[in-house]
Chains A and B, each alone.
Chain A
Amino acid sequence: MMYLLATLLSLATVSGFYLSWKQQASRALWLSIGLLVVSCIGWSYAAGWEYGLVYALCIPSMLVWLFIWQQRKSLGVNKAIPHSPAAKVSAKLAASHMGRLLVVLIIQALISLLLTLVFCYLLPLEDVNRMALGIVLLPLVWALLSYQLLQSRFYWRSLSIQMVVGLLSAGGLAVQGGLI
């Protein structure tokens, strides 16, 4: 019974979002956000808060397709996409992309790891909690750093700043660990 109620709450949440979108009404949008919170509580009652939170956040992403599909529009008959001549790929361009890839996967991994750890070890927590927090924050910090670097028009300046941040974090960790 609680599962059914929680599902209906998720459906009501998505319906609310749909109505707010259809009528461009901000009040309906806030109401739907409120319903999302209520559905989290409903799911938590039904399945415990750990499963409940996952259900409440993930099930709307499937229910939403009822509305998207119903709302779909055709732009007319199929047309072929006009093609232009093949793009040329130079060795220099390929090397530059590979370089960026290595920076994102290796250098930024290290910078984000150091930055995350120095932050977590500043907090008054038990070691196990610091590690757990670090595990959650690491991919987010890494994601933000790589986004910042790749969207920047000043690639080398951004990379230099990030590397300085990484070095400062390493220094901070060395101080925290009593190595300096």
Chain B
Amino acid sequence: MSNKTNLAKQALSAHSWMGVFLGALLFWVCLSGTLVVFHQEMERWEQPAVLEMADTNAETVQKAFDNFTAKHKEDTEHFFVVFPTSGIPRLVVENDHVAYFADQQGNLLEKEQSPLTKMLVNWHLYLHLPMSWGMILVSALGAIICALVISGIIAHKRILKDAFRLRTGSTGQQYQIDLHNRFGVWAAPFHLIIGITGTYFGLAGVMIVIVAQLFYNGDRQAVMDTVFTPEPELHQTIEPVNVGKAFEQALTMEPNGKPIFMTVHEPGTEGQFIEIYTEIPGRMLYSENFRFDAAGNFISTGGYKKGAWGKQLVYSLYRLHFGQFAGMAGKVLYFVLGIMLTLLCTSGMKIWFNKRAADDALPRIWTALVWSTFIGVTAVSTYSLLAHTAPVVILWGVIAVAILLGWKVSVISLKHWQIATAVSLAVLLLVYAITHQHGLFNLASLQLNLPIVAFIAYCLYRIKRPQ
């Protein structure tokens, strides 16, 4: 056997091991990541009838803030005002405990409730594990994605010869292999972007601990301050916060920018200050931050826009990972590529099952796991519409029961799972129509309901097709 063939064989063995052993986790992280690209649209979908607006002004912001602080006097370390230019065209005022929408006059409307979106985002960030461990595990999967890209390319002996091949029919195995390799090779830049940026979220904390111990006498905050601009130290007389004045100035300081949100740090103390986060068009940076004292007088910027390249890079990782740039175009791009990445996980597993060709329950369990994940998400969504809470136990309960069924009941086929998925989605739409009659034909509801209808149609098409 030639050295090249040997290398490819060994690479394939490493590739299969990583892909198969972490297949389920990779599938969940990739699928949830693909879904949460539209987390802002999901929030709107959860409350479609809320008043929407294109932008706001200083007077409205001040009035909404005053109304909120008058109503909610409980202790909090922050107040937040989320602006309609944040990606969700709504004005929201909140503290650490509760959030309200506001209208164009600054009057408070209904409470913000997005339990489903929060559940899905937590699924992607932590896999619903305890936060630190979950985040480290998910971040480790980022490095595994990079390792799969590298081993997959080395293992692919005919990378150039097969670059445009897609062979259907026969046992279907060649189709799965071609699909897997074409997705893997052509979308490799995207996979590396996701892998590298994904690793950052959990592992940066570990890196900071080591760097702090070695170079900063154990002072983690000092390490953080080298990357993220430290908070200003103020000693002011305690007075009402002038958020309107700060907002007005931030608009003029970055005329092309889109204010995302405002934070009032340590309210009611001598050190309270206002920070406004503004998205800079054309830049991957999360924001440039403008800081003001409680009276609304400008103090400084966060210095991200023109800071050291390292600072800019770190502050750009969020948008780069979640596709939160360039509006809907960036989201659609990431959604389609995210579907490809998710299909890469499922096709890889199918190839492994077919090669193994063992007559046991594993392929059935895998099919159950994949399709029950959709059913589980749909079940939680339906429940959240009725109960305004999204318990993770429903998602994992559905998956656990499905795995048990896949293992023990051999007559349940792919077709049955597809029927169950289509039915559960239809029930979701029905419950949505009943619970949200007023907002049913809003953009906020249609932009998710129409893709759900399309997915039902896809399931029906798959059900009708011979398998």
Contacts and interface: CB of A to CB of B under 8 A. Distances in A.
Contacts of B137: 105
A88 to B, nearest CB: 9
Given A18-B164, A72-B166, A131-B211, A83 B358 contact: yes
B296 interface: no
A143 B139 CA distance: 12
A147 interface: yes
A143 B215 contact: no
- Chain B interface helix/strand/loop/mixed: helix
A177 interface: yes
A75 B168 contact: yes
A139 interface: yes
B200 interface: yes
A152 B283 CA distance: 42
B463 interface: no
* A82, A105, A152, most chain B CB atoms within 10 A: A105
Nearest to B316: A50
A59 interface: yes
A67 interface: yes
Nearest to B313: A132
A74 B193 CA distance: 34
A73 B164 CA distance: 11
B163 A17 contact: yes
* B144, B147, B223, most chain A CB atoms within 10 A: B147
B14 A147 contact: yes
B56 to A, nearest CB: 26
Contact of A136 (B10, B196, B337): B196
Interface in B143-192: 143-144, 146-147, 149-151, 154, 160, 163-174, 182, 186-190
Nearest to A109: B140
A161 interface: no
A50 B160 CA distance: 29
B200 A135 contact: yes
Interface in B273-327: 282-284, 307-311, 313-314, 316-317, 320, 325-326
A34 interface: no
B311 A81 contact: no
A79 B336 contact: no
Contacts of A100: 17, 21
B169 A150 contact: no
A84 B284 CA distance: 52
B244 to A, nearest CB: 32
A71 B21 contact: no
Interface string B5-22: 001001101100110011
Contact of B150 (A101, A114, A121, A143): A143
A127 B215 contact: yes
A129 B308 contact: yes
A143 B149 CA distance: 9
Contacts of A22: 164
Contact of A57 (B190, B354, B357): B190
B434 interface: no
Given A87-B360, A128-B227, A138-B199, A147 B182 contact: no
Given A81-B354, A126-B308, A67 B147 contact: no
* B167, B203, B325, most chain A CB atoms within 10 A: B203
* A81, A82, A97, A133, most chain B CB atoms within 10 A: A81
B187 A58 contact: yes
B203 A83 contact: no
B206 interface: yes
Nearest to A57: B189
Interface string B226-260: 11000000000000000000000000000000000
Given A75-B174, A117-B211, A179-B214, A135 B314 contact: yes
Interface in B102-160: 137, 140, 142-144, 146-147, 149-151, 154, 160
A80 B13 CA distance: 25
Nearest to B175: A75
Contacts of A83: 357-359
A136 B313 contact: yes
A75 B175 CA distance: 9
B330 interface: yes
Contacts of A61: 186-190, 337, 340
B71 interface: no
B204 interface: yes
A83 to B, nearest CB: 4
15 contacts: A48-B283, A57-B189, A61-B340, A75-B170, A79-B171, A83-B357, A83-B359, A97-B17, A100-B21, A109-B140, A127-B211, A128-B227, A128-B314, A129-B308, A138-B143
